Chains A and B, each alone.
Chain A
Amino acid sequence: MSTATTLERPQAVETPQRRRKPAPVRTHAPLTPWLLMAPALLAAIVFVLFPFLNTIVLSFTDARPLLGGSFNGLQNYRDLLADPMFWIALRNCLIYVVGAVPPLVILPLLLAMLVRKAVPGIGAIRTAIYTPVIASVVVTGLIWTWLLDSRGLVNSMAGWLGIISSPIPFLTDEYLLLISSMIVTVWQGIAYYMVVYLAVLANVPQSLHEAAMMDGAGPVRRFLTVTLPAMRSTMLLIGIIASLAAFRIFSEIFVLSGGTGGPGGRSSSLVMLIRESGTGLSGRLGYSSAVSIVLFLLTLILMIVNLRMTYRKES
């Protein structure tokens, strides 16, 4: 992106040299660029920007499917603030951010350090570790549903070893369901972010490590003084990406709870609430749109905070 700005800049600044130049050769018909842009631009406008603007409008109406609905001001937002389900969904998303993001930032880095050295067989090992990433969340969700079932492998192993006397209700308790979902998210995300770290680790000059070794720094010391500082911006980036994903969590909780969102829906996320309230013939489109706008604002705030942190670091 930075290259783009430097390329654009000379045309914006009117310098004497520029004025003396002859008019540029016509390299294309005036419409050609727009023909090239058309498919992606139309898709962006029709399927992303227009529905989003429509979501804003809908959030101020009492629209229902097949019925027009009329403007009702801030009623949806007032309903939302008074709705315990909204607060539960918001709380669950925050729990998800706090619980799933730190492991997703730290564990992949440690794993990348582990698989980094080209020990014999490392190719096959990396491939095996990467397997969870390529499966869809529905598949991994179903696999873990069976593992964490009240009679599943985890409970029966623990019961057989005598660690527990009655099965742990991983999939039926309000909070344990969230924790189970986070386990799936983290389990599946570790290898994904590991690859990002591997790519960045490859760019850390080996000479830094050797210099630190000359100074007698052990592996832990070298990790803290050489690797970690070089990884800081990547860790921040992964933290932001993982947080954005955590706010938008849906599939893991949906699949593990069998589509219910836990006991009384008390493990639901914001996206589950949007789907729940906005679909079906009796869907409350206005209310659902108001929740959508809240979700948008949350992710927007997160991105602004990220930008400010990046900016402050650079200046």
Chain B
Amino acid sequence: MALTHPHTSRKGSRHTVALSDGESATRPELVLRYLLLLVVIVISIGPFLWQLATSLKGIGEDLYSMPPSFWPEEFSLAAYSQVTEVIPVWSYIGNSVIVALCNVTLSVVGCAMAGYAMARLQFRGKVIAIGLFAATLLIPQESSMIALTQLVNAMGLGNTLVAVFLPTMMSAISVLLMWNAFLALPKEVDEAAIVDGASVWQRFLRLGLPSVKGTLAVVALLAFMGSWNDFLWPLLILSDPDKYTLTVGLNYLQGTFADNPRVVAAGTIIAVAPLVALFLALQRIFFRGVAEGGVKE
């Protein structure tokens, strides 16, 4: 291990590899690292690739062959066209997109406004408002969902997409994130704007929001992931198969086509591909954001 030490590594440069973060590693250490990483990668994405391979296997191919074949021998997209025939996959994706967009918009707007008021304005009853948000943190969504179902039905929203996104728009965590972000802005900026006669709304829109873009992105991402992947709540509230979101639709697909793994596999690949593409496009920003101090004291 002495070779990895910064002072000795230069002397033993033939046996060490310099890394981009200024550290270095010995060759055996690197080989071991890559081997372990390979194992982890196989465990992480192997199941997805097996699902992809299954979805691409032709009708004539034996899915249960011994030993299992990892490569489709006769490539076929038949399962993909079949899945779009048996369930309205595109309308499920459409429903999920509508729900996620509405949820993200309401969440970002609502949480940013509340966070701004809590952080930058003094008013009576503020402590009570903060207390109400904090109280919601203690209640697991699941323990009020039966009563919420009754409420939503009584409001006439039962079996609608509005019922899927409206009750889940408020996240106490997001409100607290926005509160924290607005608190971090220097007071002087506000004071100067007040002297210039800027109203609260002008200060919020022109000074506040542009300074907390990073937190807004985090809140939007949390809302999107939460909404896109939500299963239990839409399962409870949607009874009409035409209104299903993608997760509920996939569960329905499994229920009716459990005997045809190709079709179920094609459905799951259709569901996960857009997210993987989105993530690949954003991963650089995502991991940089994490490294730059998602969690800093």
Give B172's nearest chain A residue, CB to CB. A44
| Closest chain B CB from A84 CB (angstroms) | 21
- Given the interface pairs A49-B132, A292-B143, the reply to whether A255 lies near B44 with Cβ below 8 Å is no
Instruction: Looking at the assembled complex, report how far the CB atom of B168 sits from the nearest CB atom of chain A, in whole angstroms.
Output: 8
Number of A-B contacts (CB under 8 A): 318
Q: What DSSP secondary structure best describes chain B's contact surface?
A: helix
Most chain B CB neighbours (cut-off 10 Å) among A33, A196, A283: A33
B183 within 8 A of A: yes
The contact of A47 among B30, B67, B148, B254, by CB within 8 Å, is: B148
Choose among A47, A119, A120, A138 the residue with the greatest number of B CB atoms under 10 Å from its CB.
A138
Give B283's nearest chain A residue, CB to CB: A127
With A126-B287, A142-B268, A146-B265 in contact, is A295–B140 under 8 Å at CB?
yes
Selected from B133, B142, B284, the residue in CB contact (under 8 A) with A271 is B142
Interface size on A, residues (CB 8 A): 108
Please, which residues of chain B bring their CB within 8 A of the CB of A58? 146-147
Among A13-21, A22-30, A172-180, the stretch in contact with B: A22-30
Q: Is B213 an interface residue (CB 8 A)?
A: no
**A131 an interface residue at 8 Å Cβ cutoff?**
yes
A153 to B44, CA, bound (A): 16
Are A118 and B21 closer than 8 Å at their CB atoms? yes
Q: Quick check: A299 and B106 within 8 Å, CB to CB?
A: no
Question: Is the C-beta of A274 less than 8 angstroms from some C-beta in chain B?
Answer: yes
Distance between Cα atoms of A114 and B36 in the complex (Å): 8
Please state if B68 and A51 are interface contacts (CB–CB under 8 Å).
Answer: no
**CB pair B143 A52 closer than 8 Å:** yes
How far, in Å, is A74 (CB) from chain B's closest CB?
18
Bound-state CA distance A298–B98 (Å) is 35
Most chain A beta carbons < 10 A, residue from B6, B25, B268 = B268
Query: For the complex, is A202 an interface residue (Cβ under 8 Å from B)?
Result: yes
Residue ID in chain B nearest A245 by CB atoms: B140
B197-241 contact mask (Cβ, 8 Å, vs A): 1 or 0: 001110010000000000000000000010011011001100000
Which of the residues A118, A146, A200 comes within 8 Å of B264, measured between beta carbons?
Answer: A146
Residues of A contacting B200 with CB < 8 Å?
27-29, 32-33, 36
A157 to B66 alpha-carbon distance, docked (Å): 8
* Residue in A39, A145, A254, A292 whose beta carbon sits within 8 Å of that of B109 in the complex: A39
B33 near A117 with CB under 8 A, answer: yes
* A248 touching B142, Cβ below 8 Å: yes
Determine, out of A1-9, A75-83, A98-106, the stretch whose residues face the partner at the interface: A1-9
**Residue A87 is within 8 A (CB to CB) of chain B in the complex:** no
**Cβ of B291 under 8 Å from chain A:** yes
A203, B121: Cα distance in complex, Å: 33
CB of A288 to closest CB in B, whole Å: 5
Residue of B nearest to A304 (CB): B138
Near B by CB (< 8 A), chain A positions 262-287 give 271, 274-275, 278-279, 283, 285
Give the CA-CA distance A51 to B146 in the complex, in Å. 8
Q: Could you give, for residues 192-213 of chain A, a 1 whenever the CB lies within 8 Å of some chain B CB and a 0 otherwise?
A: 0001101110110000001001
From 150 to 193 in chain B, residues with beta carbon under 8 angstroms from any chain A beta carbon are 150-151, 166-170, 172, 175-176, 179-180, 183-184, 190
- Does chain A have a CB within 8 A of B77? no
Select the residue from B114, B140, B170 with max chain A CB neighbours within 10 A: B140
Assess whether B11 is interfacial by the CB under 8 Å rule: no
| Min CB–CB distance A252 → chain B (angstroms) | 10
B43: shortest Cβ distance to chain A, in Å? 7
Are the C-beta atoms of B279 and A134 separated by less than 8 Å? yes
- Minimum distance in angstroms from B16 CB to a CB of chain A: 12
A303 touches B138 (CB 8 A): yes
CB distance from A234 to the nearest CB of B (A): 8
Is A132 on the interface with B (CB-CB < 8 A)?
A: yes
The minimal Cβ–Cβ distance linking B182 to chain A, given in whole angstroms, is 11
Q: B residues within 8 A CB of A244? A: 140
* B295 and A196 contact, CB distance less than 8 A: yes
- Verify if A226 is at the interface (C-beta below 8 Å from B): no
Asked if B74 lies at the interface with its beta carbon under 8 angstroms from chain A, I say: no
Give the contacting residue for B250; candidates A44, A142, A196, A303; CB below 8 A.
Answer: A142
Please report the C-alpha to C-alpha distance between residue A219 and residue B265 in the assembled complex, in whole angstroms.
Answer: 43
Does A65 have its Cβ within 8 Å of any Cβ on chain B? yes
Query: Cβ of B94 < 8 Å from any Cβ of A?
Result: no
Considering the complex, give the chain B residue whose CB is closest to the CB of A57: B147
Q: A315 at the A/B interface (Cβ < 8 Å)?
A: no
CA distance A29 to B199 in the complex (A): 9
- Cβ of A41 and Cβ of B149 under 8 Å apart? no
Are A191 and B275 touching (Cβ within 8 A)?
no
Count chain A CB atoms within 10 A of each CB in B34, B122, B135, B147 and give the residue with the most. Answer: B147
* Chain B residue contacts of A129, Cβ below 8 A: 40-41, 44
Q: Which residues of A contact B228 (CB under 8 A)?
A: 136
On whether the beta carbons of B150 and A65 are closer than 8 Å, the reply is yes
10 nearest A-B residue pairs (beta carbon): A43-B170, A136-B229, A40-B114, A36-B117, A39-B110, A278-B146, A47-B167, A51-B147, A292-B143, A51-B144
Q: List 6 additional A-B contacts (Cβ < 8 Å) besides A1-B176, A52-B139, A138-B247.
A: A28-B123, A33-B126, A40-B113, A115-B37, A135-B229, A142-B254
Listed by A's residue number, 21 A-B pairs whose Cβ atoms lie within 8 Å are A1-B180, A3-B180, A28-B121, A33-B200, A36-B113, A37-B117, A38-B113, A51-B147, A127-B280, A135-B229, A138-B229, A143-B51, A146-B264, A153-B68, A157-B67, A248-B140, A250-B232, A251-B231, A275-B146, A278-B146, A296-B139
